[in-house]
Structure 1
Amino acid sequence: MEKLSNPQKTIETIKKYQFSFQKKFGQNFLIDEHVIHKIIRGAQVTKEDFVLEIGPGIGTMTQYLAEEAREVAAVEIDRKLIPILGETLSAYDNVTVINEDILKVDIAALAMEKNGGKPIKVVANLPYYITTPIIMGLFESHVPIDNITVMVQKEVADRMKVGPGSKDYGALSLAVQYYAEPYLVANVPANCFIPRPNVDSAVIRLTRHEKPVVDVDNEGLLFNMIRASFNQRRKTLQNGLKNSDLISASKEAIMDSIREAGLPETVRGEALTLEEFARLANILHRKMNEK
């Protein structure tokens, strides 16, 4: 069977099924074989692996994943793509297509059924609006994951990997780096897709930490502090925390905690490293629980 990475084959398949692209699903189909190989190498897929693919589209990447992995489960939300996938993946008996919203799939149960509960590898091509909920949902649910290799808008990839001092640094940077080590696999120009998107993309691999890089007494408080800090990023850290509905601590406890953490009273949240946020969260948590 001719691969869908051939643009003519992709166009032929789309026309055959009279498929119309859905803007709400952010559908852009990859048509560059070199990029596909980079993604699979970046994800470090082997014959031992069970791979969860999110957003297979017409099955372009799935065809290659099926040849490299032991088994693939491809979760596709658009029911109009299911008959197309039935044809394009007919040659592969190690692929299961699931017509569902990935946010509603019990991935832990899937990992147990298909991989005996061992860490799985996730490959995805995600529209911008759903990138963060899916990635954070995978990490926060504590599904056994080795790595997530994802195609996103380039600016989103930049946000995931930067540190303090950059305009791209924010809550997403800290949340991703809390759970995983980001690695930029490849930049992908817009002409590698049908239809051509308005922005360039990037592939980033997020390798899950075996153990947390920081010790945190209350994970929820840490993330609420991070959100509060960047919701009003031009304000000082103490004002951001004091004015936030996410933080129930008193103004005095917040100010005392910032001093005890050795931070200047005028510091902004965008200047703090993950380690500094964790230290501050632990101090504030202790003060909130003091009688």
Structure 2
Amino acid sequence: MVNAAIDWEPGAKVKWITTILSKGCLTMAESPDVTSPRVLNALLQEYGLQPRRRFGQNFLIDGNIAQKIVGAAEIKKNEAVIEVGPGAGALTIRLARAGVPVLVLEIDRGLLLLINNLLQHWPHVKVSEGDALRVDWRKLIDGFAPDRTIKLISNLPYNISGPFMYSLFECGFPFAGAVLMFQKEVAGRLVAKPGDRDYGSLSLLCAYYTEARILFGVSKNVFWPRPKIDSAILRLTPRRRILEPEEEPILWKLVKTVFRQRRKTMLNGISTLFPGRRRDFVVEILLAAGIDPGIRPEELDAGEFALLTRIIYNNRSKLS
């Protein structure tokens, strides 16, 4: 399954995996190395599984990279971790070793069974079936002890990266930090600055809610199946919010409106928010925020959008 060039004895390997699982993985030393192609192959065969394109599954098969990702999260004793999309457990087993509470979300029921069996003797790790795009993050976080801050870690399925990040920002990024893997192109969009070719609504919202930094690249050669492009690891740290909670829906409406028409000027872009109002009124709104009405949205940073949001909020009775 994993690589036709790998030479192994299927019967012996599956028998060894089954024996290990039946005893329970009590320590890191006793647990199967799921980043080993041979072990991964045997596990998937044992459970009748194979990578599912529908869920964007690419299994990490490099233990050094897995340890580097977990290390980048800098998990402290008073923290807990949510992992999304554990795959065969390359990160999960290492997170379990950290000794802090871990909640694992997996949508694939086959992998859910595999992970449950791998982790059955680590009582501080809970495995749950769930769709990361439909999670109530705040409710999930409320399930942990109130004295713990929560970090998020994931080798994200490539096909949900954008919607997943929007969902985190929509709930205000309620985490102490996150270490996430993205396709290199998506990582570039998240950290893009005003004026960059890749700068857009996702970049702006990422900069508003977090400080994002690319930590290191990850070759496509350390996954199976091998994706077409390389990946990158991002660390996201929450920022102090500029706007009040009641103002932020205006920010979202503003950002979505102007970036749907990104080649239009800000004057033309936000005029649709004030139907029936004279253009000179919209010009006054922009000038009050120190924004040239002729500038385009991709030239403005998160702070400038936040100031404009506050001014629009103060004129909200005139909004559409």
TM-score, normalising length from structure 1? 0.90
State the 1:181 CA deviation: 0.9
Counterpart residue identity of residue 60, structure 1:
A
Distance 1:271 1:216, change over 3 A: farther
- What is the SS of the residue equivalent to 2:75? coil
Assess, with a 3 A threshold, how the Cα gap between structure 1 residues 163 and 142 changes in structure 2: closer, same or farther.
closer
Aligned equivalent of 2:73:
43
In structure 2, distance between residues paired with 1:5 and 1:285: 51
Partner of 1:84: 114
Moved more, 74-83 or 39-48: 39-48
What pairs with 1:214-229 in structure 2 (closer than 5 Å)?
A: 218-229=247-258
Residues 214 and 275 of structure 1 are in contact (CA less than 8 Å); yes or no, is this contact kept in structure 2? no
The alpha-carbon distance between structure 1 residues 10 and 274, as it changes in their structure 2 partners (threshold 3 A), is same
Q: In 2, distance between residues paired with 1:263 and 1:109? A: 38
Q: In the alignment, which of 292, 306, 310 is matched to residue 278 of structure 1?
A: 306
Partner residue, 2:297 = 269
Question: Are the equivalent residues in 2 in contact too, given 1:89–1:95 (CA < 8 A)?
Answer: yes
Change (3 A) 1:20 1:216: closer
| 8 A Cα contact 1:237 1:266, kept in partner | yes
Note if contact 2:78-2:148 (Cα within 8 Å) is conserved in structure 1: no
1:234 maps onto 2:263 in alignment: yes
1:148 aligns with 2:178: yes
Partner of 2:96: 66
In structure 2, stretches of 5+ residues that fail to align are: 1-30
Deviation at 1:288, TM superposition (A): 4.0
- Are residues 278 and 39 of structure 1, via their aligned partners in 2, closer, same or farther at CA, if it must alter by over 3 Å? same
Structure 2 distance, partners of 1:53, 1:216, is 27
Q: Cα offset for 1:213?
A: 4.3
| Equivalences for residues 1-291 of structure 1 within 5 A | 1-116=31-146, 118-142=148-172, 144-209=174-239, 211-213=240-242, 218-242=247-271, 244=272, 247-248=273-274, 250-252=277-279, 253-289=281-317
For residues 59 and 217 of structure 1, the distance between their equivalents in structure 2, rounded to whole angstroms, comes to: 40
Q: In 1, distance between residues paired with 2:100 and 2:214? A: 25
Offset at residue 224 of structure 1 (A): 1.6
Determine helix, strand or coil for the equivalent of 2:144: helix
Contact 1:51–1:69 under 8 Å retained in 2? no
The code of the aligned residue for 1:28 comes to: N
Q: 1:137 to 1:115 in 2, by over 3 A?
A: farther
CA distance in 1, matches of 2:299, 2:63: 41
CA contact (8 A) 1:66 1:72 kept: yes
Deviations along 1:229-286, one digit per CA (max 9) or x if unpaired, are 22121221212223x5xx2453533222123333323210111111111222222333
* 3-state SS of 2:294 partner: coil
> How many percent identity over aligned positions?
35
Residues 154, 235 of structure 1: CA spacing in aligned structure 2 closer, same or farther, 3 A cutoff? same
Retained in 1: the 8 A contact 2:79–2:148?
no
Residue 3 of structure 1 contacts residue 63 of structure 1 at CA under 8 Å; is this kept in 2?
no
C-alpha distance in structure 2 between counterparts of 1:196 and 1:251, whole Å: 55
| Matched-pair contact (CA < 8 Å) for 2:212–2:235 | yes
5+ residue gaps in structure 1?
none
TM-score (norm 2): 0.82
**Alignment CA distance shift 1:256-1:217 (3 Å):** farther
